[in-house]
Each structure stands twice: as structure tokens, then as C-alpha cells.
């Protein structure tokens, strides 16, 4: 009986899915998991709209997911009119019916929700958590709050990371990248310090970002790889040949090329996202410019958006020749993938 509201709402989501978010799923490792979830688990995912939860629930349709979410009525009670508070209270009632009664104190003073989570996972059920907190309208996943780490250790439950690309819309397809389980059972909750928890949180965030890069790389594979010797325009991907391989960058203007690596920096520098002039990027070489096919051009970001995204990444590290290299970076910055 208690599952009826959940599956009633989810069936409405199935109708919505037909038109607004058809889903394609990738896995970090096809042979390990997580095509289906056995036993208890904590799913963590990035967050932008209410649809994010529906997409995950539909992916695991035959497992009832219990959401761990912020108590929005407490947060807004001092900021809204009486009518608004009443509507939020009604909304909370329906959220409890659909998502369960696992609310987090937004201010972080009350960790009582963990005891509720223990009771849920002890029954072999699955939790869904959003470590970024509120909706994030960033180009890339934001920082994680460590509540999910504490919950996983206290409940002795594995973590399943899922990256969502938020590609909602008619004639579009939402892509999910599902990572391997993260086991924190080696940690004793009685011995953990705040520094330990933050260290674990940072490591899991790094794993999540690698999944994000992997998903973007897969989506970029279908685009044209044609380059020509033509004059670059703001927002173009350019490349030069450096001995054994090509080095890629994003052209903004003659004084600003955003690159990821150290192909034209000193050998002692770490590979980071940095800004150089076109002449510094090219040296004595002439750059080639990527040329997309006509139907691919609709996936190009506006040059102003490319510049904003690129500059927001300045100083970013995490370079990997196989998972997150200069071409991967240039594709993420310039293509809506």
C-alpha cells in the first residue's frame, strides 16, 4: 500500500519521459555493475532540476528509492507569505508520500536524519542523495557537501555515483554515466575526524569528476574531426602539431587562447588550464581550425558562453592523457554535450 503513491507518480514520469527525456545509459565498467542494484545503497548524483530525481527513479524502476532532501518548508518559513507557507506544507506532504520522510536540516545542526537512514538501509533499501545541495546551474559539477559520506559510513552502505548531463527537451536524450560502487566499510565511524571526512569527500568528488569527463568524451566522439588552415573565430577549437601529437586549445582572440596542458609552458609546470596568446600557443607553427558539419553546428556554444565557461576553468587540474586531455577540455568548452 505504501508504494502506491510512489509508483503512481513514477508512471506519470514514464509518460513525461516519452517526450522530454529519453535516456541513454553508460557504465564505468559494464562487467561490474550497476545495471541493477542488489541490497542497500546510496546513489549520489549532480542536481539541476526536479527532473533529475525522476530520471534516476525511472532507471531503477523496480527499486523504490528514498530521497534524502533538504526541508524546504523550514528554510522558507521566514521568507514567504502565509499562503506560500501553506502551499509548501502541502508540497511537503506529497514529497513525503513520493520520496519518503528523510529531510535534512539545511543549517546542518541536526544530524537526526542519519538514524532514519540507518532504519531504511537496514531493510536493504536504496537512498538517493544530492551532494551539491541546492540546484546548481554551473557548467560542471560543483563541490560536494560531506553529509553523504557520513551517512554511508554510519549505515555501512556502498555509494553509487551517477553523472547526469541534464539534456532535457523534445528530440533530446538524457545521458547517464553510472560508476562502480564505492565501498567505505574500511572506515570506523568512531575514529573519523572532520579532516578524514573531508579527505574522503574530496576523493569521491574526484571520482565523480572523472566520470563526468568520461561521459563528455563519449558524447564528443561522434563529432567531426576535420581541421583546416583557415582564420580562427572566437570560440573555435584550434590545434598545432608538437612532435608526436596534436595540442588543442580554444581561441578567444589573438591575445587569448585557453589551453589545458603544458605544451607551450616550461617543463616544470603542472598541466593546468591556462591562458596564453595565439603566438605563444602556436610558436612558429600555423594553427589548424576545427570545421564541423552543417548539422553539427547546432551543438556549438555561443562564443560568449565559450569564453565564460573557459575562463571559469582557469587553474583547473586533473589532466589525464586518456580521460581528460586538452582535446577533451576543448570539446567540453565549445560543444553542448
Q: What CATH fold (topology level) applies to the domain 227-334?
A: endopeptidase fold (from Nostoc punctiforme) (3.90.1720)
pLDDT above 70: residue 93: no
pLDDT in the model for residue 19: 74
Task: Report which of residues 100 and 138 the model is more confident about.
Answer: 138
What digits encode the pLDDT tens for the residues 23-36?
899 998 876 666 78
Buried b (16+ CB within 10 A) or exposed e, 145-168: bbbbbbbbbbbebbbbbbbbbbbb
Q: What is the CATH number of domain 4-220?
A: 3.40.1130
Return mean pLDDT, the chain: 84
CB 88 within 8 A of CB 72: yes
pLDDT in the model for residue 73: 55
pLDDT in the model for residue 181: 92
pLDDT in the model for residue 34: 63
CB 68 within 8 A of CB 113: yes
pLDDT above 80: residue 335: yes
What digits encode the pLDDT tens for the residues 294-313?
999 999 999 999 999 999 99
pLDDT above 60: residue 267: no
Task: Give the C-alpha separation, 318 to 210, whole Å.
Answer: 9
In the structure, what pLDDT confidence band is assigned to residue 46 with cuts at 50, 70 and 90? very high
Q: Which residues on adjacent β-strands are paired with residue 320?
A: 324
Task: Give the C-alpha separation, 259 to 264, whole Å.
Answer: 9
Task: Give, to the nearest 10 degrees, the angle between helix 326-334 and helix 194-220.
Answer: 80
Task: Give the C-alpha separation, 66 to 77, whole Å.
Answer: 24
Phi and psi (nearest 5°) for 23?
-120, 135
CB 120 within 8 A of CB 100: yes
Phi and psi (nearest 5°) for 51?
-70, -20
54-63, 87-96, 160-169: range with lowest mean pLDDT: 87-96
H helical segments located in the chain: 4-20, 51-59, 72-76, 82-99, 113-121, 147-155, 194-220, 278-282, 303-312, 326-334
pLDDT above 80: residue 262: no
Report the share of the chain in percent with pLDDT over 70: 82
Residue whose C-alpha is closest to residue 218's, from 167, 169, 257, 266: 167
pLDDT in the model for residue 90: 55
- What are the cell numbers at 45? 548524483
One fold for both 4-220 and 227-334? Answer: no
What digits encode the pLDDT tens for the residues 213-240?
999 999 999 998 999 999 999 999 999 9
- Where along the chain do its domains lie? 4-220, 227-334
Residue whose C-alpha is closest to residue 336's, from 308, 303, 298, 307: 298
Beta strands 65-70 and 126-129, pairing class: parallel
Amino acid at each position: 500500500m505504501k508504494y502506491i503513491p510512489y509508483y503512481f507518480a513514477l508512471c506519470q514520469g514514464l509518460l513525461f519521459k516519452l517526450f522530454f527525456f529519453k535516456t541513454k545509459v553508460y557504465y564505468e565498467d559494464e562487467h561490474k555493475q550497476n545495471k541493477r542494484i542488489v541490497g542497500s545503497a546510496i546513489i549520489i548524483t549532480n542536481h539541476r532540476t526536479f527532473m533529475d530525481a525522476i530520471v534516476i527513479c525511472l532507471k531503477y524502476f523496480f527499486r523504490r528509492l528514498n530521497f534524502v532532501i533538504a526541508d524546504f518548508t523550514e528554510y522558507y518559513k521566514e521568507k514567504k507569505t502565509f499562503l506560500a507557507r501553506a502551499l509548501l506544507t502541502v508540497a511537503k506532504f506529497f514529497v513525503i508520500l513520493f520520496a519518503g520522510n528523510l529531510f535534512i536540516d539545511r543549517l546542518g545542526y541536526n544530524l537526526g536524519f542519519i538514524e532514519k537512514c540507518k532504519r531504511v538501509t537496514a531493510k536493504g533499501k536504496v537512498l538517493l542523495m544530492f551532494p551539491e545541495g541546492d540546484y546548481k546551474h554551473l557548467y560542471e559539477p560543483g563541490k560536494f557537501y560531506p553529509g553523504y559520506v557520513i551517512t554511508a559510513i554510519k549505515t555501512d552502505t556502498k555509494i553509487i555515483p551517477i553523472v547526469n548531463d541534464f539534456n532535457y527537451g523534445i528530440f533530446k536524450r538524457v545521458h547517464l554515466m553510472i560508476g562502480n560502487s564505492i565501498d567505505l566499510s574500511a572506515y570506523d565511524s568512531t575514529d573519523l575526524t572532520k579532516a578524514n571526512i573531508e579527505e574522503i569527500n574530496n576523493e569521491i568528488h574526484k571520482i565523480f569528476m572523472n566520470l563526468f569527463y568520461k561521459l563528455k568524451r563519449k558524447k564528443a566522439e561522434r563529432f567531426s574531426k576535420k581541421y583546416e588552415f583557415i582564420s580562427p573565430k572566437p570560440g573555435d577549437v584550434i590545434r598545432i602539431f608538437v612532435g608526436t601529437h596534436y595540442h588543442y586549445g580554444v581561441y578567444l582572440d589573438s591575445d587569448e587562447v585557453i589551453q589545458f596542458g603544458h605544451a607551450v609552458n616550461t617543463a616544470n609546470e603542472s598541466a593546468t588550464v591556462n591562458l596564453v596568446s595565439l603566438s605563444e600557443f602556436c610558436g612558429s607553427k600555423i594553427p589548424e581550425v576545427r570545421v564541423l558539419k552543417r548539422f553539427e553546428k547546432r551543438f556549438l556554444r555561443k562564443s560568449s558562453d565559450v569564453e565564460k565557461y573557459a575562463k571559469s576553468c582557469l587553474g583547473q587540474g586533473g589532466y589525464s592523457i586518456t580521460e581528460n586531455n586538452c582535446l577533451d577540455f576543448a570539446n567540453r568548452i565549445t560543444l553542448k554535450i
